[in-house]
Homo-oligomer: A and B are copies of this chain.
Amino acid sequence: MHTETVVIEGHIVDSGIMSEILDTIIKSGAQFKIASFEMGKTNLDPSRAKIEITGPKTAVSDLLPRLNVLGCFLDSPQQVTAKPAEADRVVPDDFYSTTNHTTKIFLDGNWVTAENQRMDAVIVIEDKGPVCRKLREVKQGDKIVCGVGGIRVIPEFRDRDRSDFAFMMSETSSERRVELAVKRVADLIRKPGTRTALVAGPVVVHTGSSRATCDLIESGYVQLLLSGNALAVHDIEQSLYGTSLGIHLDNGLPVNEGHRNHMRAINTIYRAGSIANAVKLGILRSGIMYTCVKNDVPFVLAGSIRDDGPLPEVITDMNMAQQRYSEELRSIDVVLMLSTMLHSIAVGNMLPSRVRTIIVDINPPVVTKLSDRGSSQAVGIVTDVGLFLNLLSQTLRR
């Protein structure tokens, strides 16, 4: 039998994380004993618990990495272990795989915060300090953090959002009043200094909420657009011919030659050389892409296997596209994910958990999926995306 003592601090009781920790220990078959417990006397004070875990040696040491993820750290901090990468892209077997929560490394007697926090990365100890890196970016000889000693995760305790987002935090239901959710989102993105990214699928165009999206951009509420080829093509098709997938936006009916409009839009942009050029030449005069160009809002379009064209601005190499998404997201505080599972999961993978993430989708499983993949900070609104955007734009104009 072996015993280890871990410490956890913060809003550990009211955030539910204490339950998760004890649950994890119990499920693993080990025993716990609360060595000490200083409960925050009021809702402003953090609590602090010291937990003794006892069990077979392997059971206990197996538990440590899982408790680490929940914010537990060893009572007596030890220097972090770093080992060299054996080759480019290849790390030691016991490498530490990151969460999306702020992570500190005990290095030379100090807790130092890792940079570029994201999930599923490794931590490389560079001269300037620890940095999160994708596995494919590791170079031979890089110093890779291994094991769990000297690593401390600071979970988001969800307390700050309590009054704002609590109502969206439980189950994902379509039986809610959407106006309230819209009002909260509006309050969030109109807060001075907030930088908001839209991650948008083509449904934004199909449902006729392109105008509302342009309003958001023109009013300065959007600092970044992340999407794919489809949104851009449908948006440009609509600007040039009034249709999306050949269906006229004004009457919902298929138009003559409608099925060609999609390809005509691509051909037109190919002829102009790029979306930006098409705006400059006065060929493209409205729509989401036009509005981004005119308002200097950066957009990154990532390619996909289902693309037609793709348009010249679309980044067809996925490693490069991830790189660009990730760079642009660094300065973002709020992400609004609009009916695109593909790009939403991609962005969820890149974001630190401190970024407020709101998923709007008519399809409830999309929210569950994102949360299954670790983006537990994401809250979901199950509604019609078109009507949501129209309402958000109206609310922000008031």
Contact = CB atoms under 8 A, between A and B. Distances in A.
Interface stretch (A61-69, A104-112, A188-196): A61-69
A330 to B, nearest CB: 17
A397 interface: no
A279 interface: no
A309 B136 contact: yes
A56 to B, nearest CB: 12
Contact of A251 (B15, B87, B180, B271): B180
Contacts of A66: 254, 256-258
A33 B37 contact: no
Given A66-B256, A162-B27, A175 B369 contact: yes
Contacts of A316: 317-319
Given A95-B267, A179-B208, A259-B97, A34 B26 contact: no
A249 to B, nearest CB: 6
A106 to B, nearest CB: 20
Interface in A288-346: 302-310, 316-319, 321-322, 325, 341-343, 345-346
A387 B178 contact: yes
A203 B175 contact: yes
A173 interface: yes
Interface in A81-99: 86-87, 89-91, 93, 95, 97, 99
Contacts of A171: 368, 371-372
Contacts of A251: 167, 180
A306 B90 contact: no
A81 to B, nearest CB: 15
A19 interface: yes
A40 B39 CA distance: 15
A31 B22 contact: no
Interface of A: 13-16, 18-19, 22-23, 25-28, 31-34, 37, 39-43, 62-63, 65-66, 69, 86-87, 89-91, 93, 95, 97, 99, 120, 122, 135-136, 162-163, 166-168, 171-181, 203, 206-208, 228, 245, 247, 249-254, 256-260, 262-264, 266-267, 270-271, 302-310, 316-319, 321-322, 325, 341-343, 345-346, 349, 362-365, 368-369, 371-374, 382-384, 386-388, 391
Across the A-B interface, the 3 shortest Cβ-Cβ residue pairs: A177-B208, A167-B252, A62-B256
13 contacts: A13-B19, A14-B26, A16-B16, A34-B39, A37-B37, A63-B256, A66-B254, A135-B270, A175-B207, A176-B206, A177-B208, A180-B250, A384-B387
Given A34-B39, A179-B208, A306-B342, 13 more contacts: A33-B41, A87-B271, A93-B264, A95-B264, A120-B263, A135-B266, A135-B267, A171-B371, A176-B247, A178-B207, A303-B318, A305-B346, A362-B382
A41 B302 CA distance: 52
A46 to B, nearest CB: 13
A19 B18 contact: yes
A285 B212 CA distance: 37
A258 B270 CA distance: 47
A252 B126 CA distance: 39
Contacts of A364: 364-365, 368
Given A42-B31, A362-B382, A372 B305 contact: no
Given A177-B206, A363-B363, A267 B386 contact: no
